[in-house]
Structure 1
Amino acid sequence: MPRVLTRFIEEPQVFACANCKTHLSTEGNIESKDFTTQNGRGFLINKLINVTNGPSADRSLRTGMHVCQDVYCVTCDTNVGWKYIKAFNQTERYKVGNFVLDAVKVINYHWESVD
């Protein structure tokens, strides 16, 4: 299996995959902390790195029908959330192009404190 090259965020605190600590985003990219996933709390994020996208699929969410893609950590292939591709309701279209991170699948990682 080829080595996965990941990007590193040069900020002291980042959101990282809870499984392997691969950097995913920063708190500055949060659009909203008021989202819910199947596992509980989630964050609407405008930018993620080090992820791959799954296939598009229609989903019936609390706010209506959307087309979404699951997003996976490039290092360990953990599903860390999803990306909004299309919103059928006009009031939900602000989500398109953004991601939802599942809070139980990521950690707020302070990498400067690690030896």
Structure 2
Amino acid sequence: MAELVGLRIYSCSNCRNHVCLHDDIISKAFQGRKGRAFLFSHAINIVVGPKEDRELITGLHRVADIYCRECHDVLGWKYLRAYEQTQKYKEGKFIFEKSKIVRENW
């Protein structure tokens, strides 16, 4: 498990496991399953679940849910493939539901 000292980070809201860095935020203007979500370029201390095609607001994408490595709470998903050309920038990126993460070291 990676521990990050002195950096602005986000942790799992359930167990406080570090899961992403503030500097890796690409956008705060995304919609998750239950409200606002953030798009990140990287994630740490997570487990990627099975792949599936999912119809999202911006079209069909191949995604996999992401889970906290410690408590196994679903935190969001990883974009594996975007079928529309305009959505290709999301491939390999991570969505974290705002309600599932909390700020640390701010």
TM-score range, shorter chain: over 0.9
Per-residue CA deviation, residues 15-66 of structure 1 (Å, 9 max, x unaligned), is 0000000001111000011000111010000000000010000000000000
Q: Which runs of 5+ in 1 are unaligned?
A: 1-5
* Residue in structure 2 matched with residue 86 of structure 1 by the alignment: 81
2:12 to 11, 17, 20: 17
Q: In the aligned structure 2, how far is the partner of 1:11 from the partner of 1:25?
A: 13
Q: How many pairs were matched up?
A: 106
Q: In the aligned structure 1, how far is the partner of 2:59 from the partner of 2:6?
A: 36
* Residue in structure 2 matched with residue 3 of structure 1 by the alignment: none
Q: In the aligned structure 2, how far is the partner of 1:87 from the partner of 1:12?
A: 31
Q: Which runs of 5+ in 2 are unaligned?
A: none
TM-score, normalised via structure 2 length: 0.96
Bigger radius of gyration, 1 or 2?
A: 1
What percent identity do the matched residue pairs reach?
37
1:29 aligns with 2:29: no
Question: C-alpha root-mean-square deviation of aligned residues, in Å?
Answer: 1.1
The amino acid that maps onto 1:92 is Q
